[in-house]
A and B are shown apart, each in its own frame.
Chain A
Amino acid sequence: MTEDNRAMPWRRRNLVLGGLAASLAGLAGRARAITDDEKSLYELAKKEREVTWYTSQILGETAQRVVAAFNVVYPDVKVNLLRASGQVLYQRVMQEISMNALQADVISLSDTGGQQAELKEAGQFLQYRPKRSAEVMPAFRDIDPDGYYHTTIVALTVMVYNTKLVKPEELPKTWADLADPRWKGRIAIGHPGFSSLATVWVTKMNSLYGWGFMEKLAKNDTQVTRNINDTTTLVTAGERAIGITPAPTARPGVAKGNPIGIIYPEDGSILAASPSGIAKGSKHPNAAKLLMEFLLGPECAKVIVEDYGDSIRADVPSPGGKSLDQIKTVAPSAEESKKMGTLVEPFRTLFGF
């Protein structure tokens, strides 16, 4: 399956996106009906007046728009947003906890569960089962059986290719195809030592095809980038023909008319799900619960999709019009998530960085 901008000129694509947005707006209009639970939560939350949200799951711009969307529905609860990148935010949370001065009410870390499990074990999360968690796709429910944290964001890792350098008939269909010697010197991948999405990808490749796959990539003179988003830059520039990239990084380039296309591999786009939880010592517990409900609801999903992210809800399709349950995805198992870091050293030895 490919998303190729050559098939669809920029202007027309914009029209299509516009139409999509319009239908989404209608959908959100229907879903906006606040549930009775949310109504009573909102009444309680109004008295608390504000809620502090720490997130590394989405970029600053998107986070601001999520907050704006929240305030359309709940104008009387002010959201104090702190957005930082993954490890910086995690470090910040740990610092604040060690000083007994955690400011956050809701914590959304961009990790596939390891950090959240750690916080849960340390007794830092409040147990809460949002009503809306029953509305998300089944695959994303109950990531924590005890209900301390819940999947709020999923990141999809796919292939991006340069349309000037690769003919449609030559396109790789699966991850396994990339080991073919004809891709020698033409692939770019992210480094698992710096990028958690790259770690998930390497882990999944290893469990699907064994370490031999990575060895073949190394032999194929594959270029490693520190930040997994940089692969899209290299592919757009034509420096490399194919890159492993987060879908939200490549999608805007496709929409704008850069010479790139997206491949959703047949053996499964890699899915990394990141959960959020409410801080145990939250001073605004009701506002925090309200925000948790909102993060799982359709209005939030709509904002995420508009910024080229993927939706956890079947009723809000991802960019490109399909929802995640309509394309093949694979995600690391709980077992794999735990051992995630162990491949970094072998990778560094293999790729010499």
Chain B
Amino acid sequence: MRIGRWGARRPDPATLVFLLAGLILTFIVVAPLLRLVWSSFQEARGGAFTLVNYVVAYGTPRHVTALVNTLAMGAGVVVLSSLFAAPLAWACSRTNMPARGFIRLSVVGAFVTPPYLAAIAWILLAGPNAGWINQAWFAISGTHQSLVNVFSYWGIVLVMSTNLFFYLFVYLTSALEMVSSESEEAANILGASVLQTAFRVTFPLILPAFLGGLVVIFLQSIALFGVPALLSPAAKFPVVTTQLLQFFEYPLRVQVAAAYSVPLVAITVLLFSLQRLALSRKGFVSVTGKGGERRPIALGAMRWPMFAYALAICTISVFLPWLVLLQTAFSRAWGAGLSFGNLTLHNFTMILWELGLARDAMIRSLQYASVSAFCAIALGLCIAYIVARRLVPQANILSVLCMVPLVIPGIVLAIGFYATYAPPPLALYGTATILILAFVTRFLPLAYTSCGSAIRNIHPEMEDAVRILGGGRLVALRRVVIPLLKRPLVGAWLLVFVPAVQELSTAVFLVGPQTRVISLILLDFSEQGNLEMVAAASCLLLLIILFVVVLGFRVIGRDFMLRSA
């Protein structure tokens, strides 16, 4: 009875936390977003109400083509990424495929390769005239007809997929690791083959994670800028982000850019409604309070073909690009080819010792990214929990708000932030705060979806048990949900941390003299044509990030991501 009285007198303290989360969301998402929508209806001079921006944005057939192209590209990336990620995630987490730890580590390598660098590497690999692959082909076939061309629709889709499939891999892996073997074994006992079990039992259980991952990949791909910037002009394949950039050239048309971005927000809302519809009448709870065992599935004769497939994916997405980047990083002149005289450590010593600027910026990036990742996860977890447990009516709105930043191109988001928070009274311009806030906003979708798919897999019965025994919702969160989610949360943290270290498009607009981050230094190097330094700095970043991954695994005391058993 004591418990009941306690509960009746005081409001659940969790409600306050959740209110706070909503408030923060208003501050970092709603305000800049409203500012964006508002400015899409404003005249450039004077700011009077107008629809002209929409007419300019969509009145030209070429601008509409870019939007259609973008959707086609997003669809291609979703398909290719699924082909990459789904078999790998399943094989790495549920089977006895050889070298699973190595494959996992390689997949992390794909993720920490900035898309922009991957695009450069792929120009060197699959350029129609001088790409390494084509040169090998010329030598073998004796023809001068190129085999592969990176400057094409499939080239763009491939380069994007090599980076983005990681998201799907992580979502699927963390979901697969929560599915117990019992249902799979039941299927086996009833005569289902390994593949049948995978498709009929395992796959349906991880559907929420799969759909969540697909949506994230789609939205990421249509807002990604670095890859199309390098590949799409030569492919004659204009997309939304390249078109948006034109609005930022002289004469500057920020309001038109805002108008052009608004449909992307609408696409996000639509996708989420579809995702909800697809998941609405099904249960996906696989982690309950009743235990459950997980045993790897024996692949038998399929072990080695599966491994060969995984190795092929890793070669395409990691080994080949990094071969190019390593060669560049250790070269005096990357175009001079492989020779002893061309080898040097100079690029590394420059960055580590001589260019204080680059080193400081790297440290700054790591700091901002870790703080941003913590904030984004905390916020994402709160909101994912509210939404999953339907703690407030219309929780779905929160979910959409969390996802919208994914499709707002970074530079547009940055302008919203700048306009809202740079002037007094907050006057945040030039501070680390505004950068971190922007990073949190930008990567909130990643934090939110990974927290969300993990929470959906946990049955409320365990929290109910806590509450029956007298614990409040916060106790349930702290003592049950978070411990259960430890591994997915570390994964989610990394998922935000890595792109935040490399974030360029928002940073470009928001950095002040004292807050320059490494991505801007890399941009400067690459604008100088100094690819050797870009590659060397990226190698150092890769090392640091891999170190953080290993550290994360030590801290958590589990075999996260590097499982080798």
Contacts and interface: CB of A to CB of B under 8 A. Distances in A.
Contacts of B7: none
Residue of B120, B423, B521, B528 contacting most chain A CB atoms (<10 Å) = B528
A87 B512 CA distance: 16
Interface stretch (B76-84, B246-254, B388-396): B246-254
Contact of B234 (A87, A225, A256): A225
A99 interface: yes
A193 B250 contact: no
Interface residues of A, number: 61
8 contacts: A59-B524, A80-B513, A87-B249, A95-B422, A226-B230, A249-B528, A256-B332, A352-B236
Nearest to B128: A239
A90 B251 CA distance: 10
A200 B264 CA distance: 33
B367 interface: no
Contacts of A353: 232-233, 236-238
Interface in B413-427: 415, 418-419, 422-424
Contacts of B419: 95
Interface in B495-532: 508-509, 512-513, 516, 520-521, 523-524, 526-532
A191 B234 CA distance: 10
Interface of A: 10, 59-61, 64, 80-82, 84-88, 90-92, 94-95, 99, 101, 111, 114-115, 185, 191, 193-194, 196, 223-227, 229-230, 232-234, 236-240, 245, 248-250, 252-253, 256-260, 308, 340-341, 348, 351-353
Contact of B527 (A59, A84, A234): A59
Interface of B: 62, 120, 123-124, 127-131, 151, 229-230, 232-234, 236-238, 242, 245-246, 248-252, 254, 332-336, 342, 355, 357, 411, 415, 418-419, 422-424, 508-509, 512-513, 516, 520-521, 523-524, 526-532
Given A82-B512, A237-B123, A341-B250, A230 B230 contact: yes
Of all A-B residue pairs in the complex, the 3 with the closest CB atoms, nearest first, are A238-B130, A236-B335, A258-B335
Given A193-B249, A233-B120, A237-B123, 19 more contacts: A64-B357, A80-B513, A84-B508, A88-B508, A91-B252, A91-B509, A92-B509, A95-B422, A194-B242, A194-B245, A239-B123, A239-B127, A239-B129, A239-B130, A253-B335, A256-B333, A257-B342, A258-B336, A353-B236
Contacts of B527: 59, 227, 229, 249
A341 B251 contact: yes
Contacts of B123: 233-234, 237, 239
A259 B335 contact: yes
A28 to B, nearest CB: 22
A257 B234 contact: no
A87 B529 contact: no
B418 A95 contact: yes
Contacts of B516: 60
B332 to A, nearest CB: 5
Contacts of B62: 348
A204 B357 CA distance: 38
Contacts of A81: 513
Contacts of B411: 88
A335 to B, nearest CB: 17
Given A237-B127, A256-B532, A61 B335 contact: no
A249 B524 CA distance: 11
A290 to B, nearest CB: 19
Given A10-B332, A60-B520, A90-B252, A99 B423 contact: yes
Contacts of A87: 248-250, 252
Contacts of A249: 527-529
